[in-house]
Amino acid sequence: MWSIGVVKELIPSRDGLIRSVMLKVPNGNIINRAIQCLRPIELRETLDEDIEIENPEPIQEPEEDPNPLILEPELDPTV
């Protein structure tokens, strides 16, 4: 049986990518799970039109790498 939880914290790995999260499960425990084990669900939420978000954080676009990694083709060792 699948249990439902709320993501409380994203945990970056050494390379900076998010690979696990801290989840709060219905019994109140907080557990660590790999993101491969998670399945997103869609929730409908009704928002009150009177609610205003104060000072929303601007969305930052990722910057292009000025020195992109260029991979050379592998050489065939049988040649």
Q: Which residues pair with 61 in a beta bridge?
A: none
Per-residue pLDDT tens for 5-63? 889 999 999 998 999 999 998 888 999 999 998 888 877 766 555 556 566 666 666 67
Domain-embedded: residue 74: no
Q: Report the domain count for the chain.
A: 1
Domain-embedded: residue 11: yes
Q: Which domain holds residue 14?
A: 6-37
User: Which one is predicted more confidently, 69 or 28?
Assistant: 28
Domain-embedded: residue 13: yes
Domain-embedded: residue 55: no
Domain-embedded: residue 21: yes
12: exposed, middle or buried (Cβ count in 10 Å: 0-12, 13-18, 19+): exposed
